[in-house]
Amino acid sequence: MLKFLSIRDFVIVSSLELDFSAGFTALTGETGAGKSILIDALSLALGERGDAAMVRNGCERAEIAAEFDITALPHLQAWLLEQELTGDEGVCLLRRVLDAGGRSRGFINGRSATLQQLREAGEQLLDIHGQHAHQSLLRPDAQRMLLDGYAGVATDAEKVAALYRDWQALRRRRISLSENAEAVAAERELLRFQRDELDGLGFNAAEWQEQQADYARLAHAAGLLETAAFGIETLSEADDACLAQLNALMARLRDGMAHDASLGETLRMLESAQTELQEAVYALRHYQQRLDTDPQRLHEQEQRIQNVMDAARKHRIAPEMLDEALQRIMSRLAELGGDADLAALEQQEKSAQQSYLAAAQKLTAARKKSADKLACEITAAMQTLAMQGGSFAVVLLPLTEGNAYGLETVEFQVAANPGVPPRSLAKVASGGELSRISLAIQVAAIQVASVPTLIFDEVDSGIGGRVAEIVGHLLKKLGRNYQVLCVTHLPQVAAAADHQWQVSKAAENGITLSRIAVLDGVQRVEEIARMLGGVKITETTRKHAAEMLGAVA
């Protein structure tokens, strides 16, 4: 939901900050006051193209910032996370800066963003319905998704898409195998040889370091034995061995303690050293006993290490990566399959295709059933919106093989007047007609639309009286489920709103500026009376305005 909008130096707006509420808000004002500036500003923030003419005369830049509450939009939250554009929890802030030279910059949650990213975020936040729309209902994918949501088959559509992807993956594999059979056979033979060679090597990365250390010990066994013997000789077996000299010193210190007890501390340190040296002698003797000097085992280790190094050089990798190389070879072999796998793959492809077709046909049946019902509801709504005799159709256009979305494309078609052949909704020329048709669609599909904020511009173009009152009630109904903003010049529509803003413009120091005021109850009566009675407002007009507001309260 749109929570806040800040506009700076945009067209004829100097500075404007607006807090938005839930429900239905009407924007009213004199013709030419700039009621559509708010929509133009929002469109710019949501990625529409801008030009230097949008910067207020004499200013360096225009800046638009729009804050949205996205707590109830998990898909947008996931998209922001994927794009690395997350901000405060539950908030999405879109900002657009346009300078006087025509250059612009976009930001999402304070991070630089492209216009495409602004548009992608905007498509999940807000829909503008009118002749200047960038509305989602004109997009075929949005039409399909709306029908699927209305029919309650969105999950079935996702299942069809998954089955289609599985089928196409198998199809691509089968085609690849068929077209490259000879090359595949040669590759398979090479991979099998490499697999057998590495498998026979029995390499284990976890044991490789131990094996190298073991080899190092075997290769230097003679020197290591000599080192151990030298250590034992030096510590305990030579005539001037360390332990013998240490024992002699300790004996003299014990004698000296009879005359000076302070020598006891030194004696205790030497006793500790004696224990450590004796332990070292035991350890060296144990090392001598367990050191392997078997020449045959040394030869085996040398050969083992040589085989590993040869295999690593052959695959141009470090020895530690031989396990990964074997796994890659096994994976590739699994992809290529065996000699008899082409026939099996063809059977798998056929089975996957049948599964897809069965699910897609079920989806088609559900779509057909709901398409007629949705079309009837929208057609009925059109009759109340100054489009008597008009009709709406939800057409399923068959596809030869189907795609990820099913066996058909979905197209909304409309005939605005009786006797006129239906045309694609995207080709409806009249902005007023398009706005009212969009309103009828939104009302009919009120429970399934995913965009939380709807803006209607010129929905009351060419209507009045009873039809205008109906439009007001429809917008109010929409406002119970969505945030609705409507630019209107009809008092019947404005009176139905939960909130009303008045747009005006005035000259200040010779410069024309636009203002927006949030109206209270008394001010709403005055504004509705102005819309009813024009320049001269009488008490009768005010009474009529109050009655209109009271009737929809």
The model's pLDDT over 211-240, given as tens digits with 9 standing for 90+, comes to 666 655 655 555 565 676 677 778 877 778
| Residue 171, Cβ density class (10 Å: 0-12 exposed, 13-18 middle, ≥19 buried) | middle
User: Smallest Cα–Cα separation from 230: which of 281, 181, 266?
Assistant: 281
**Which is more confident, 360 or 454?**
360
**Which is more confident, 301 or 111?**
111
Alpha-carbon distance of 462 to 153, in angstroms, equals: 37
pLDDT confidence bin for 371, thresholds 50/70/90? very high
Q: What is the mean pLDDT of residues 74-96?
A: 92
Q: Count other C-beta atoms under 10 Å from residue 325's C-beta.
A: 19
DSSP for 338-385 reads: -TTHHHHHHHHHHHHHHHHHHHHHHHHHHHHHHHHHHHHHHHHHHHTT
Q: How far is CA 50 from CA 11, 63, 98, in A?
A: 11, 11, 7
Q: Take residue 157 and report the two structure tokens written for it.
A: 């559509």
CATH topology of domain 1-125+498-518: Rossmann fold (3.40.50)
Asked if the model's pLDDT at residue 477 lies above 90, the reply is no
Amino acid present at 475: L
| Chain centre to alpha carbon of residue 425 | 29
CA Rg value for the chain: 42
pLDDT at 168: 93
pLDDT confidence bin for 540, thresholds 50/70/90? confident
Question: In the chain, pLDDT over 90 holds for what percent of residues?
Answer: 29
Alpha-carbon distance of 361 to 88, in angstroms, equals: 44
Most confident stretch, 100-114, 239-253, 325-339: 100-114
Model pLDDT for residues 513-539, shown as the tens digit of each residue: 888 889 998 999 988 998 887 667 888
Alpha-carbon distance of 407 to 459, in angstroms, equals: 35
Asked if the model's pLDDT at residue 462 lies above 50, the reply is yes
Q: Take residue 14 and report the two structure tokens written for it.
A: 């100097």
Phi, psi of 208 (to 5 degrees): -60, -45
Q: What is the mean pLDDT of residues 441-448?
A: 70
Q: Count other C-beta atoms under 10 Å from residue 363's C-beta.
A: 22
For CA atoms 8, 127, 120, 124, the dihedral sign is positive
Q: What is the mean pLDDT of residues 60-81?
A: 92
Q: Which helix (H) or strand (E) holds 67?
A: strand 61-69
Model pLDDT for residues 11-24, shown as the tens digit of each residue: 888 888 999 999 99
| Residue 115, Cβ density class (10 Å: 0-12 exposed, 13-18 middle, ≥19 buried) | middle
Alpha-carbon distance of 396 to 375, in angstroms, equals: 12
CA atoms within a 13 Å half-sphere pointing along the CA-CB vector of 121: 39
Q: How far is CA 244 from CA 144, 184, 248, 269, in A?
A: 97, 77, 6, 16
Range scoring the smallest mean pLDDT among 1-15, 261-275, 292-306: 292-306
Q: Take residue 406 and report the two structure tokens written for it.
A: 């099913």
pLDDT at 225: 57
pLDDT at 446: 65
**Which is more confident, 365 or 418?**
365
Alpha-carbon distance of 174 to 196, in angstroms, equals: 26
Alpha-carbon distance of 271 to 375, in angstroms, equals: 102
Task: Delimit the domains of the chain by residue range.
Answer: 1-125+498-518
Task: Give the single-character DSSP code of 445.
Answer: T
Whole-number average pLDDT of the chain = 83
Alpha-carbon distance of 531 to 553, in angstroms, equals: 19
Alpha-carbon distance of 190 to 199, in angstroms, equals: 14
Query: Which residues share a beta bridge with 85?
Result: none
Task: Give the single-character DSSP code of 422.
Answer: P
pLDDT confidence bin for 132, thresholds 50/70/90? very low
- Can you tell me which residue has the tokens 């085609």? 175
Q: What is the mean pLDDT of residues 258-286?
A: 86
Sheet holding 423-424, edge to edge: 391-403, 406-415, 423-424
Model pLDDT for residues 142-157, shown as the tens digit of each residue: 889 889 988 889 889 9
Q: What is the mean pLDDT of residues 321-333?
A: 82
Phi, psi of 213 (to 5 degrees): -65, -40
pLDDT at 507: 77
Q: Take residue 161 and report the two structure tokens written for it.
A: 């898409």
